[in-house]
Amino acid sequence: MNKELWKGNELIAEAAIRAGCRAYFGYPITPQNEIPEYMSWRMPEAGGVFVQAESEIAAINMVYGASAMGVRAMTSSSSPGISLKQEGISYLVGAELPAVIVNMMRGGPGLGSIQPSQSDYFQATRSPGHGDGHMIVLAPCRLQEAADLMADAFDLADQYRMPVMILADGMIGQMMEAVTWSERPAKPMPPKDWAATGREGPGKTHFITSLRLGASDNELFNNRLQQRYRLIEREEPRHEAVDCEGADILLCAFGTTARIALSAARKLREEGIKAGLFRPITLWPFPEVALRALASQPSVRAVLTVEMSAGQMVQDVRLALVGSRPTPFFGRTGGMIPEAGQIVEQVHLALKEAQA
């Protein structure tokens, strides 16, 4: 199969179209502008709809409209714009509508910086907007994986009737890598008989809504959502483990940071320290069972979490390990990127502390 050189943002846009996305709505923001730019000519070519919305709020609500009609729809943005989409994401959850949202994270808070960051982890994985909802959150660390995850994102959204987020950062959006397009057969999907594409006869209408004014009705709905979430937590966690068997220390990192952690792990191996990389691919559901299993090996003396934030995913690591191992943290913030050398230092420190 042919290898093609792609830029991250354009690749993600093309992968969405190949996954059957036929409606894109977005608003410009660095560092993801190549996504709407690419979509603006490519989507019409593919027979789909492109609208440059007046705001991120409008864009996510356009997604709501298209999705309610049974169309595979997406939007993309970066941190400040994703904040504006929170209301809309909550409504997508409440109306059980599939959608794909790409967040090419940049440094916050506020207008922050335009450099890569991972500080929207809490916003993405806890509960988008208000209410007890969830998105499935996928975090690619290579462009090949980004292309493959785009296809999975649309399938997961349709399968579970919920929003799915691709959580990456400016680095992934801007880098170039070789990619092959996998010719995978389309997965069978549940029929969208709920779509509001016209009533099926007098009195037989579709009503897409998130309003359940009776509290007990609303609790029943919430219970149904939670059941679905428990199923997803069982079925969908994904991770990659590199050299984790018999490791002295596990580095836990996702996305761009995982790439850097991997080179730190290689340096440590040269020094004779057995460092493994545990990389969550799904951030929600967090692959806690797999992490617990690997961290509980007798050889493992600590699990060091590295993030481009002040420490967000580390909470999930600590919840997964409930004190069974030391769980130190190293992070850079504001758009700064951790260096492999700094991670190596942190590992030395962590091992020394574990010894004591």
Chain residues binding another protein by CB under 8 A are 22-23, 25, 49, 51, 53-55, 57-59, 61-69, 71, 73, 87-88, 91, 95, 196-199, 202-203, 205-211
Kindly state the smallest distance separating residue 52's Cβ from another protein, in Å.
Answer: 9
Name 329's bridge partners: 305
Q: What is the closest distance, in whole angstroms, from the C-beta atom of residue 169 to another protein in the complex? A: 27
> Would you say 211 or 231 has its CB closer to another protein?
211
The residue among 57 and 337 lying less far from another protein, judged by its C-beta, is 57
- Please identify, using beta-carbon distances, which residue of 62 and 150 lies nearer to another protein: 62
SS3 assignment for 155-183? HHHHHHCCEEEEEEEHHHHHCEEEECCCC
C-beta closer to another protein: residue 22 or 259: 22
Integer Cα distance of 76 and 355 in angstroms:
46
How far is Cα 38 from Cα 277, in angstroms, rounded to an integer?
34
Q: How far apart are CA 171 and CA 176, in angstroms?
A: 10
Cα 116 → chain centroid: 15
Minimum distance of another protein from residue 120's CB (angstroms): 21
144 Cβ contact partners less than 8 Å away, ≥ 6 residues apart: 177, 178, 179, 180
Shortest distance in whole angstroms from residue 51 CB to another protein: 6
- Kindly report the CA angle at 70 between 67 and 73, in degrees rounded to 5? 40
CB of 48 to another protein, least distance (A): 8
The least distance separating another protein from the CB of residue 69, rounded to whole angstroms, comes to 5
Pick the closer one to another protein by CB: 23 or 347.
23
* CA dist 252 → 171, 267, 306, 313, 328 (Å): 19, 16, 6, 9, 10
> Which pair of structure tokens corresponds to residue 204?
């037989």
